[in-house]
Amino acid sequence: MCSSDLLATLRRVVKPGGIIAIGDIYRHDTVQQSAQWQDLPTLAQLVESVRGNGDLLELITASIDEWDSYYALQWRAAAHWKKHHRDDPEYDSFCQRADQSRLFYLNDERPFISWSVIVATNA
C-alpha cells in the first residue's frame, strides 16, 4: 500500500505542477471482504490519496486478465526453474513456495484485490 511517507516525500521533491505516478494494489469494494485486505484502500481511496490537491491525469487499472497474466508469468518462470534445477538443494522448498504462492493468489488475492497506476499533478 502506498504509504503517506512516500506521498509526502514525492509532494516535497516534485515541483508544483510536476507529475506523480504511483502503481499500487487496492481492494475491491465488495460486500464480502477478506479480513486480511481490510487495511488496503479501495480504488477511489487510492486515487484520492495519490491525487491529493492535484489533478488526476491518468488511471490505468489492470483487468482480471492482465492481473492473471502478470501472475502467470511468475508461474511460467517457476516451472522453467523447476525443470532445469531438479538437483538444487532448495528444489523441494522452492516447489512448495511456488505452489503456495499460486494457491494464495487464486484463493486469497484474485477475488479481493487488483492493481492500478495513478498519475496526478503535484499541487
Radius of gyration of the chain (CA): 18
Q: What is the pLDDT of residues 35-71, one digit of tens each?
A: 788 888 999 999 999 999 999 999 999 999 999 999 9
CA of 15: how far to CAs of 7, 9, 12, 19, 46, in Å?
A: 13, 11, 8, 8, 22
**Mean pLDDT over residues 68-94, rounded?**
97
C-alpha cell of 115? 492493481
Note if the pTM is more than 0.75.
Answer: yes
In this model, does residue 2 exceed pLDDT 80?
no
Helices (H), the chain: 4-13, 43-51, 64-84, 91-104
Q: What pLDDT does residue 32 have?
A: 65
